[in-house]
Structure 1
């Protein structure tokens, strides 16, 4: 990415209270932009921001909103619906650029939230507004859930041998810098941009070993089979036609299986395989340094 000198812009940021949204807000303010921000909260709040855009001159709209659960109704309402409302408002307000935080997993869509994200990506690309779609790999937060387990001397849970998947995790602040760098940058306009943090690509076992090293403890792993999610999804799926509760829980099982078995890397179109070499890198913060800071506060 070519660095640009930011010109102060009027920016509407949706999802400012989420982990990534909060980091984007800090970065935008540090760069001197004027930001109208709303927490990711309820859809009504996002729609209120959309309605408010019509009353102000807004140069850029950035959306960091995403469904919390990934359940079909939630994904349709947020990943597609709320973003669609924002897009309509952005166009009505005369915004020049819409930057969307999406996800790299949509390149292999098997889940409801992935299809909802893709539906909005297509709507955005066809809208005529200037756009940039950012598809990050794994976040540090998604690889930090077992820090307390490891510090307490418990085994680190892995799927299979721990090497079924790989990713290039990116820190909140590095991703925020990348998103902010899309503003007024012609090299990043009209594009879908996958992005990861500094390499190399890491497996779940790699992440566990980093945690153990940071605590000074001997590595201890416990393997869990991803098939448990497959069976759970099938059993819960039997009740899906009759109960929204069963349908939602079946989707959660499918989501868990997806993340246990699919890498968060760019898929090589020539081979259909995940490729670390084709996954762009950005930023400086590593997962290892994040773990050390995290464990110091656990």
Structure 2
């Protein structure tokens, strides 16, 4: 980074955003925390009004920004694919009109050659339409992000906490590459105003490639010190799985269904180029779990 930049963070009060804002400030940037309720914002940085579904507020929030970080999605709605694409398209055009130099987007891992789930397919569409206005987009693709307050981690934690034993659907055998929230924040901050990252798609992941079943077992060991009895069933639809998740964890059924449908896709890092741009060893899944537990 040659000099401090003005960075707009959308979703500044969310799971990733509230951790990213102080990291960017520590790096010397001027940070605008975009929120629909700036009067109630108590975090660091400059709170600004903005709603990605309200273009005039986005245009005002982007004024004189150098970099915009896009951390918005709508998994809790039935028409999230359309809503997310429309919002991203408008945001990309507003960023171009404001003279933004770079957009950074946190997307989802998964091979384009696979039959992607609606959730992952939507992430790809957002990647594409964010750049339609002409601003270079840096995409960081991640699998499950492990950290206190993250929906995927909370599903895992509550399953382990509430069940003495588990029967899991066949998607539990799918491989994934979970990543600690600390590493996600480190990578996001590391690509801001990084010329080598502009216009690139980069894959980010933790130190371990695991099946969802192995993740549950490791989480159980860290939480309870014991092995969780798990039986893998030969069948299991996303609809049934989502109702099971809601029953056990209390997670919204629509959100659970959208996430679970993605669990049929293998999501692992195939290109480690990010580690040349942002040096540092990623955390193991076990360490990510320990940090999540320590954070509550």
TM bin, normalised by shorter chain, reads 0.7 to 0.9
Structure 1 unmatched runs, 5+: 234-248, 267-274
Deviations 1:224-277 (A, max 9, x none): 5473316759xxxxxxxxxxxxxxx89975752431x322214xxxxxxxx6x8
CA RMSD of aligned residues (A): 3.4
**Range 150-159 or range 24-33, more displaced:** 150-159
1:114 lines up with 2:120 in the alignment: yes
| 2:267 aligned to which of 261, 264, 288 | 264
Deviations 1:48-67 (A, max 9, x none): 5412146x311111101111
In structure 2, relative to structure 1, the CA distance for the partners of 1:295 and 1:151 (3 Å cut) is: farther
Structure 2 unmatched runs, 5+: 38-48, 242-252
1:159 lines up with 2:169 in the alignment: yes
In structure 2, relative to structure 1, the CA distance for the partners of 1:40 and 1:280 (3 Å cut) is: farther
The residue matched to 1:265 in structure 2 has which SS? coil
Deviations 1:205-227 (A, max 9, x none): 32223223224543133335473
In structure 2, relative to structure 1, the CA distance for the partners of 1:157 and 1:228 (3 Å cut) is: closer
* TM-score w.r.t. length of structure 1: 0.74
1:75 lines up with 2:66 in the alignment: no
Task: Give the Cα separation in 2 of the matches to 1:32 and 1:130.
Answer: 22
Deviations 1:99-150 (A, max 9, x none): 1111114734544443433333223345322221111121114245343453
The answer to whether the Cα contact below 8 Å between 1:158 and 1:204 also exists between their aligned partners in 2 is no
The residue matched to 2:145 in structure 1 has which SS? coil
1:92 lines up with 2:97 in the alignment: yes
1:204 lines up with 2:173 in the alignment: no
The answer to whether the Cα contact below 8 Å between 2:204 and 2:272 also exists between their aligned partners in 1 is no
Count of residue pairs brought into register by the alignment: 264
The residue matched to 1:102 in structure 2 has which SS? strand
* TM-score w.r.t. length of structure 2: 0.74
Deviation at 1:85, TM superposition (A): 1.7
**Aligned counterpart, 1:104:** 109
Task: Give the Cα separation in 1 of the matches to 2:259 and 2:294.
Answer: 31
Who wins on radius of gyration, i.e. which is larger? Answer: 1
